[in-house]
Chain A
Amino acid sequence: MTARPLLRMKGITKSFLGVRVLHGVDLDLYPGDLHALVGENGAGKSTLMKVLAGVHRADEGTIELDGAPVSFEHPVRAQRAGVATVFQEFNLLPELTVAGNVHLGREIRRRGRIDVRAMERATGDLLDELGLEGISPRAKVRSLSVAEQQVVEIVKALSQDARIISMDEPTASLADHEVEVLYRLIARLRERDVALLYVSHRLKEIFDLATTITVLKDGHRATTVPSGDIRPAELVRTMVGRPVSQVFPDHLEPRGEHVGEVRLDVRGGGNEQVDGIDLTVHGGEIVGLAGLQGSGRTEIARALFGMDRFTRGQVRVDGRRVDPRSPRRAVRAGVALVSEDRKTQGLALNQSILANGRLALDAVWPLGAHRRSRRLPGIFDSLELVARGGHGQEVRFLSGGNQQKVVLAKWLAADPGVMVLDEPTRGIDVGAKQAVYRLMRELTAEGVAILLISSELPELIGMSDRLVVLDEGRVAGELPGGSDEETVMALATGAPPEEPAGKGHDRPGPRSGPSENGPRSQHEGAAP
């Protein structure tokens, strides 16, 4: 490790809409090192990365490259300075060749025209140097696999003489054998004295690859340690364990008394993303689906709602076998989904509140829609929906919280028996969150079965009667409501269980033990 950092970020502070997401974060990158950035959802990892990439500008703080202060107002400025970023969505053009993509914007020219051969040669040389002879510089990017495209991204960065490459969850879409290619590539990059910043949720990768680990917690830097000096369990503990800042409403009835018949029952559900899913939700019960980003939570929700399908296993709603092959079927079977992306999947943004509220009714029960929709104003009121322009106002002018209430009202009007809530409080303010929590309690009191997906562990633990923890598309175990974050996280990451000494929790352990450091342990989800 050289004495002087190649890049030094000092006191980086960033706010969005008055909410501070980074509080004076420091970060040093050294040539040939891989610096892992870990933290829970919303800890600020992505924001920090985007500040480095020039996508966001820091409100305060400085970035020094080779000791000289720099400012990246634009991603291209950062690239020119040798800072490349490989985002999860690739910045590649599928119709251009590998060489064309690598040299896009910096084409090699000879006498005014593009020297395609020279570009292909240069790209081929780089690929060879990295031990990736398998990719032809002449292949169209469209024909490459995801892993190969990622390699192209990295080669593109290198061809711009990047000395710093930051990667956002580079393994998120790779299969196991492809991950090894990435590992090898990373080793080569380190030999070339490239400084790497690596955001990942997978603990195993972090311990395999990182020389230094920085933990972010709620926008603060919790710690920076050499990776040899920390054990996985400690790392998990550093990431979680914040003071309880939120109070969740109690059950309206004493716990246990409100649970009724089984309303949703999944046996052995599986498709390309998940496998062997057994899941039971009783009426009046909230079951939390815990797991990291990409562990299969949303995929289960999508399959239950007919957006994708389970190709194996069976689903029963209220005892009746259903095969939700379209959202319409799911709705008719009594399943509702509040999706994680309300702006693109939940709302018609340029239509009125009322039109959005009627959406599910109009679509699925055209005949009774008018009668049923008379209840909508009452539902809006009970959700305390605040719209200055009345119910004719276009939804896009509402705040996030009020938008979410419109989505909820849309489904409440359809009287679902099973509600799947995927990140129902994402991006909404505290008051609206409380309203959503109260609504969930009221619904369970009426006998609705709720499947809750949330990346905010305190919320998931505080609201759920039971927790089903997923890891890599499978059920890793089941925990009672009120379990502590570390237990959930350990199960979700496949980290070895905390030694029982020290804390002495007496809660029951997971149903099936965590798989010992599974091949692809990972860690929590990306911030929105």
Chain B
Amino acid sequence: MNHPSLSPSPLAPRSLYSRLGTTGLVYVALVVILAVSAALVSAQGASLFTPANTVDLLARSSLLGFLAIGMTLVILCRSLDLSVGYVAALSTVVAATVMAGEPERMLLGVGAALGVCALVGLANGIVVTKLRVNPFIATLGMGLIIKGYLDTNFQGPAGEIPAAFQLFGYTRFGLLPLSAVVMLVLAAAAVWMLARTRLGHHMYAVGGDAEVARLSGVRVAAPVVTAHVLCSVLAGVAGLLLAARFGTGNALVYDNGYELEAIAAVVLGGTYLLGGRGGVAGTIAGVFILATLDTVFNVLAVDPFVKDVLRGTIVIAAVALYARGQLSRAAVRVRFPSGGRPPPEESPGPPDGGGPSAPEPAVGGTR
């Protein structure tokens, strides 16, 4: 690949990491975890891939998937969204109250829920880009505002989801739940958007280095605002799914810590929390890994505490692994490569070893 006269970097280690790339590695990890889980479960005399378990796994994945796809977009832009759990809760309530159990108001309900969510995302994006509020704070604040609204207005279940719309939560094609199909279609759309549209390229550019993007003529606010809107809308879709499953609007679903689980799936999928690197494909693998763990622990009926410890460990280990792979070659010129003999006319004064102090070698740091 390198032109002979341009420096072929002599020390490029062809590790598993560099050959597969982060996304490949995550999928390898997913397969390994599935295999280990299947083995563990069959050791208990059960089977992981029974229809019930598979459906459970896919259903779990679809809910987290909606949230994580949106979160990926936001994180790629070097932003963050801590309000998605509250937005999802808001979406259930709006959808259920607007639909009010009448099938003909289904579209209206979906539109209202997603529209409200889009407005929340727009507000998030504008606060982050125009008011320059740190996204952590901006979206945390937005989440608290929504929580306040929900807590004062919706104590218990609100509204009613018509049976026709509940199908969104329960329809299956064979083993494949409708919600998982929708999630995968949206994921594919997001992958395509990131790879093939100007918006996607600019999301990577802004997340990678906003100043470089600006100096290249990119309008830096637009991708960030769009990512926030898409993230909130996807959180709204997750809310619709929750509503369809519950059959009613439930404000308290914000208590489930969805935002942090989505962030965990994103970083597990290899997206760099500081933006500009990663993608939705990895995120989906991250989602499936987390869902697999949940399913397995359910099947094995393991103490939930152990489950959380293991999930946390896996996320941390994964990010530590990515960090190792990212040790970038420093952009400095190596004038005197270590290890190589210094040019002959120099006599680099061989360390005479004997100092008055300990024979500690002053030579040696390898890189």
Binding site for B on A (CB under 8 A): 75-76, 79-80, 91-96, 100, 104-107, 109, 112-114, 116, 132-136, 139, 142, 145-149, 151, 172-175, 177-178, 180-181, 267-268, 270-276, 278, 296, 309-316, 319-323, 325, 472-474
Contact = CB atoms under 8 A, between A and B. Distances in A.
A100 B218 CA distance: 13
B334 interface: yes
B215 A96 contact: no
Interface string B74-116: 0000000000000000000000000000000000000000000
A114 B351 CA distance: 59
A320 B6 contact: no
Given A91-B212, A104-B218, A273-B332, A178 B6 contact: yes
Given A145-B9, A271-B338, A474-B346, A95 B276 contact: yes
A151 B2 CA distance: 13
B279 to A, nearest CB: 10
Given A95-B204, A107-B201, A312-B342, A321 B356 contact: yes
Interface in B1-48: 1-7, 9
B336 A116 contact: no
Contacts of B174: none
Q: For chain B, give the interface size range.
A: 35 or more
Interface stretch (B126-134, B136-144, B152-160, B358-366): B358-366
A79 B335 CA distance: 34
The residue among B216, B277, B334, B355 with the most chain A CB atoms within 10 A of its own CB is B216
A316 B195 CA distance: 56
Given A76-B215, A271-B338, A325 B1 contact: no
Contacts of A94: 208, 328
Contact of A146 (B2, B331, B349): B331
Contacts of B343: 275
A267 B346 CA distance: 12
Interface of B: 1-7, 9, 195-198, 200-201, 204-205, 208-209, 212-218, 276-277, 328, 331-338, 342-343, 346-351, 355-357, 360-365
Contact of A275 (B196, B335, B350): B335
Given A177-B5, A319-B356, A275 B336 contact: yes
Given A93-B204, A272-B337, A273-B332, A134 B5 contact: yes
Contact of A135 (B3, B7, B201): B3
B29 to A, nearest CB: 21
Contacts of A274: 335-336
B9 A314 contact: no
A312 to B, nearest CB: 5
A46 B239 CA distance: 55
Contacts of A136: 1
16 contacts: A91-B216, A93-B276, A94-B208, A95-B208, A107-B201, A109-B198, A112-B197, A116-B196, A134-B6, A145-B6, A172-B333, A268-B351, A271-B338, A273-B332, A276-B349, A320-B356
